[in-house]
Amino acid sequence: MSPWLAERRDLAAQSNALLPVPTLTDEHWRFTSLRGIDFDAFQPVAAPAPGEIAGAILADGDHAGRVVVRDGGAVVDELSEAVTAQGVAFGSIRRLAEERPELVEPLLGTIVGYDEKFAAENGALWTDGVLLHVPAGVRVAEPFHVAYEIATEGAAQQWRALIVVEEGAEATIVEEHLTGLPGYANGVAEVVVGAAGHLTYVVVQDRGDAALHFAAHRAEIAKDGLLDWVACSTGARTGKTRMETRLTGEGATGRLSGVYVVDDKRHLDLDTTQEHDAPNAVSDLAFKGVLLDEARSVWRGVIRVAAGAQGTDSYQENRNLLLSPKARADSIPGLEIDTNDVRCTHGATAGPVDPMLRFYLMSRGVPEAEANRVIVEGFLEEALERIPDERIRTALTEHVMRRIPS
Amino acid sequence: MADLVIRNLHATIAGTDTEILKGIDLEMSRGEIHAIMGPNGSGKSTLSHVLMGHPGYEVTAGEVTFMGEDLLELEADERSRAGLFLSFQYPFAVPGVTVANFIRMAVNAHRKGGPDGEDDPIRIPEFRKQLQEAMELLAIDKSMSSRSLNDGFSGGEKKRFEILQMAMLKPKIAILDETDSGLDIDALRIVSGGINQLVGPDMGALIITHYQRILDHVKPDRIHVLMDGRIVRSGGPELAYELETSGYAGITEEVSA
Ligand SMILES: Nc1ncnc2c1ncn2[C@@H]1O[C@H](COP(=O)(O)OP(=O)(O)OP(=O)(O)O)[C@@H](O)[C@H]1O
Ligand SMILES: [Mg+2]
């Protein structure tokens, strides 16, 4: 291992050793209990079985490159020749940290630090994941596809991603966390959108019924850059995802869309930030959730506007449909504003399907069950319609609607 | 027997003792146009909702037959498929569902005839053609069909889209609850023209209104005055003119006398 990487792992390990496992008294963990989880029961699996994946939602069609990380390592690591010729680097981050350290060393661990328990643990223990580096001015039309899968029961998967779209570059990356065996996943994704760059980042969390899923995704967007970020969650027993956006350059835009359908006794916790550190930036967050059975969701979102970030335009909304009396959704919006001349708005709701709206549909001849589905789909559509790529939009719509009983 | 027969219909707000409909009697058939007029809060919309199967009301007495069937036994969707239609006084927005998709879903639900029926979806080109014709009839701009139904629509636009749905579903009896309010003068003429074209041997209309104006375009055979949950007077078209000049005061006296 390169000395710089060993050093960084050391730093993270030291932090990890000092940080306790969070409890309900920690502000960010008020609604998500980790009690009773035996983290030591999950062990890294170093040598994964090779082969193709099953159960991916967005793997069909042409891709600029594909990586499959199974348990602890990449089992598929491909980049198309055309995209290689464009100067794009994409593939296993374990491999590329050795082969192209100049792309990894300057950024790894600088966007998501080691001051939080799970991020620190990941910084010390990550085994593989993805690097995407799109050089300035390069535009890649086809999406990159990444899948993370737990294929060994009880495996701990520590994945790591670094995604960089340089000045004026454009790319789409799809990241799927797949259904698989019971296990523990903990990951960190660091995302950089350069000046006037444009990244579409689609994250699907569809881990297995008994899986634990922890992730910290953090993006920085430079001047006039655009990040179109779509998060879709349907899986895991307990999941906690940080999804943080920092607008570092004037005129940057973050469009943050979330769709989740949570059933059974799943617990999904989403922690978002919209950090405005530059003037005249725009962030627009819309998360829509459907809760079934005894499922529970927590969304905690904060808009932070630094002094000097005049002209900020920031919006956040979280709306939830409760399809069962035992389902529950908590929304905790927050504003921290240190400047004048900003426009920040938020909204949060949770409730059952409006019986009057259902009556309206039924009065047109539509049976009750179908009316409910149409209302749910229409409700989610308002977030799904923000997905720029039609193929991805259609596949995700079908995926989430499969979770709605008919 | 008439197509729609309402006898001594009583209804309360569900879960309460508050009675809104206090014994309604009315009969009508396809090919007829009836109008219901009456003061605000007299129970006109409640009657339309109860007939359509609104979950917020409870029928406590009386009976309703529709095409010879016990209407009150049917769910709202079954009533629609049996041929009853309600143009809502306050139509609902259906976010995320376009006008075209909404109406196609309704048309297909009618063709299927129920959850256990056989799927018989209308072919898309045929549907497009029908929709376009109906939109032309009602002078609705084509581009509107790809918007979410009633989402951000103006009051008048919503009313036009209710009638558009009626035109596509071809009911036997259509209840039009204040379809005229909110329509501008030109729109009223266009929508009335549409209603006139649809009323005939296959369709009758029950028009709830406050104004004589729509009745100048769509000529009623009978006019009923609904006050405090009861039909207190019925008569020919001339009754509307009488109400226009003397209001409901005279009628109140007649009732209490
Ligand atoms: N769900 C309800 N909850 C409480 N009151 C109700 C409800 N539905 C109807 N009412 C009351 O019943 C009465 C009749 O209402 P309805 O809407 O049928 O009147 P309307 O004749 O249609 O009036 P308008 O001409 O203003 O449209 C009103 O006093 C109304 O407030
Ligand atoms: Mg009314």
Q: How far apart are CA B174 and CA B34, in angstroms?
A: 10
Separation of B47 CA from ligand 1 center, angstroms? 10
Q: What are the tokens at A177?
A: 């966390």
Q: What are the tokens at A360?
A: 């309206």
pLDDT of res. A406: 78
pLDDT digits (tens, 9 = 90+) for A24-41: 999 899 999 999 899 999
Q: What secondary structure letter does DSSP report for A143?
A: P
Q: Scanning every residue of chain A, which has its alpha carbon at the shortest distance from the alpha carbon of B54?
A: A359
* A397 contact residues in B (CB cutoff 8 A): none
Separation of B246 CA from ligand 2 center, angstroms? 21
* Shortest-distance Cα residue to atom 4 of ligand 1: B13
| ipTM of the complex model | 0.96
* B80 contact residues in A (CB cutoff 8 A): 362-365
Which domains, ranges and CATH numbers included, belong to chain B? 4-256 (3.40.50.300)
**Of A146, A160, A249, A147, nearest in space to A196 by CA:** A249
Q: Nearest Cβ partner of A365 from B77, B92, B97?
A: B77
Query: Is B99 within 8 Å of B132 (Cβ atoms)?
Result: no
Cα atoms in the 13 Å half-sphere on the side-chain side of A142: 19
Q: Would you give per-residue pLDDT tens digits along chain A (406 residues)?
A: 899 999 999 999 999 999 999 999 998 999 999 998 999 999 998 766 766 667 788 988 899 999 999 999 999 999 999 999 999 999 999 999 999 999 999 999 999 999 999 999 999 999 999 999 999 999 999 999 999 999 999 999 999 999 999 999 999 999 999 988 899 999 999 999 999 999 999 999 999 999 999 999 999 999 999 999 999 999 999 999 999 999 999 999 999 999 999 999 999 999 999 999 999 999 999 999 999 999 999 999 999 999 999 999 999 999 999 999 999 999 999 999 988 889 999 999 999 999 999 999 999 999 999 999 999 999 999 899 989 889 999 999 999 999 998 7
Separation of A324 CA from ligand 1 center, angstroms? 30
C-beta atoms surrounding B17 within 10 Å? 7
pLDDT of res. B257: 47
A290 inside 8 A of chain B by CB: no
A381 inside 8 A of chain B by CB: yes
Separation of B61 CA from ligand 1 center, angstroms? 19
Q: Which of B12, B16, B19, B46 has most ligand 1 atoms within 8 Å of its beta carbon, as the pocket-test mutant? A: B46
A387 inside 8 A of chain B by CB: no
> Bridge-partner residues for A78, per DSSP?
A66
Q: For tokens 């001015």, what's the residue?
A: A137
User: Measured between CA atoms, how close is B80 to chain A, in angstroms?
Assistant: 5
* Shortest-distance Cα residue to atom 6 of ligand 1: B13
Please indicate whether, in this complex, the C-beta atoms of A361 and B94 are within 8 angstroms of each other.
Answer: yes
B30 inside 8 A of chain A by CB: no
Q: How far apart are CA A89 and CA A92, in angstroms?
A: 10
Please indicate whether, in this complex, the C-beta atoms of B96 and A380 are within 8 angstroms of each other.
Answer: yes
Q: Nearest Cβ partner of A367 from B55, B77, B102?
A: B77
Q: Nearest Cβ partner of B76 from A363, A378, A381?
A: A363
Please indicate whether, in this complex, the C-beta atoms of B114 and A371 are within 8 angstroms of each other.
Answer: no
Please indicate whether, in this complex, the C-beta atoms of A380 and B148 are within 8 angstroms of each other.
Answer: no
Please indicate whether, in this complex, the C-beta atoms of A360 and B102 are within 8 angstroms of each other.
Answer: no
* Shortest-distance Cα residue to atom 19 of ligand 1: B41
pLDDT of res. A340: 87
**Of B77, B87, B149, B71, nearest in space to B109 by CA:** B77
Q: How far apart are CA B207 and CA B202, in angstroms?
A: 16
Q: How far apart are CA B139 and CA A325, in angstroms?
A: 45
Best interface-test mutation with A: which of B57, B77, B150, B176 has the largest number of A CBs within 10 A?
B77
Q: For tokens 């309604």, what's the residue?
A: B24
* A378 contact residues in B (CB cutoff 8 A): 94-97, 148
B102 inside 8 A of chain A by CB: yes
pLDDT of res. B251: 78
pLDDT of res. A274: 98
pLDDT of res. A47: 67
pLDDT of res. B254: 60
Q: How far apart are CA A313 and CA A300, in angstroms?
A: 19
Q: Which three-class secondary structure state does DSSP give residue A113? A: coil
A261 inside 8 A of chain B by CB: no
pLDDT of res. A346: 92
B94 inside 8 A of chain A by CB: yes
The residues lining ligand 1, judged by C-beta closer than 6 Å to any ligand atom, are B 13, 20, 38, 40-46, 56, 89
- Residue ranges covered by each domain of chain A: 3-353
* A355 contact residues in B (CB cutoff 8 A): 55-56
Q: Would you give per-residue pLDDT tens digits along chain B (257 residues)?
A: 999 999 999 999 999 999 999 999 999 999 999 999 999 999 999 999 999 999 999 999 999 999 999 999 999 999 999 999 999 999 999 988 999 999 999 999 999 998 889 999 999 999 999 999 999 999 999 999 999 999 999 999 999 999 999 999 999 999 999 999 989 999 999 999 999 999 999 999 999 999 888 999 999 999 999 999 999 999 999 898 888 888 888 776 566 54
Q: How far apart are CA A357 and CA A145, in angstroms?
A: 39
Q: Scanning every residue of chain B, which has its alpha carbon at the shortest distance from the alpha carbon of A383?
A: B96
Helix B249-256 and helix B238-246, axial crossing angle in degrees, nearest 10: 100
B38 inside 8 A of chain A by CB: no
C-beta atoms surrounding A217 within 10 Å? 24
**Can you say whether residue B167 is alpha, beta or left, with left for phi > 0 and alpha for psi between -120 and 50 degrees?**
alpha
Q: Nearest Cβ partner of B95 from A359, A367, A378?
A: A378
Q: What is the pTM of this model?
A: 0.87
Q: What are the tokens at B83?
A: 């041929």
Please indicate whether, in this complex, the C-beta atoms of B114 and A355 are within 8 angstroms of each other.
Answer: no
Nearest ligand atom owner, CA of B43: 1
* AA letter at B40: N
**Per 3-state DSSP, what percentage of chain B is helix, strand, and coil (rounded to 5)?**
40, 25, 35
pLDDT digits (tens, 9 = 90+) for A48-96: 676 666 778 898 889 999 999 999 999 999 999 999 999 999 999 999 9
Q: Nearest Cβ partner of B96 from A355, A359, A377?
A: A377
